[in-house]
Amino acid sequence: MSTNLDKLGIKISELIKDYADDVKDGIEERLDQTAKEILEYIKSNCPRSETGNLHLADSFILTTIGSGATKTIYISSSTKGRLVHLVELGFKHISGRFVEARPFMRPAYESFTPSMLEDIKKIIRNGGK
- Res. 68 pLDDT band, cuts 50 70 90: confident
The pTM is what?
0.82
Half-sphere exposure in the Cβ direction for 108 (13 Å, CA): 20
- Res. 42 pLDDT band, cuts 50 70 90: very high
3-class state of residue 51 by DSSP: coil
Answer whether 32's CB lies under 8 Å from 63's CB: no
Q: At 87, which amino acid appears?
A: V
| Sign of the torsion formed by the C-alpha atoms of 10, 16, 20 and 21 | positive
Quick one: angle between helices 2-45 and 105-126, nearest 10? 160
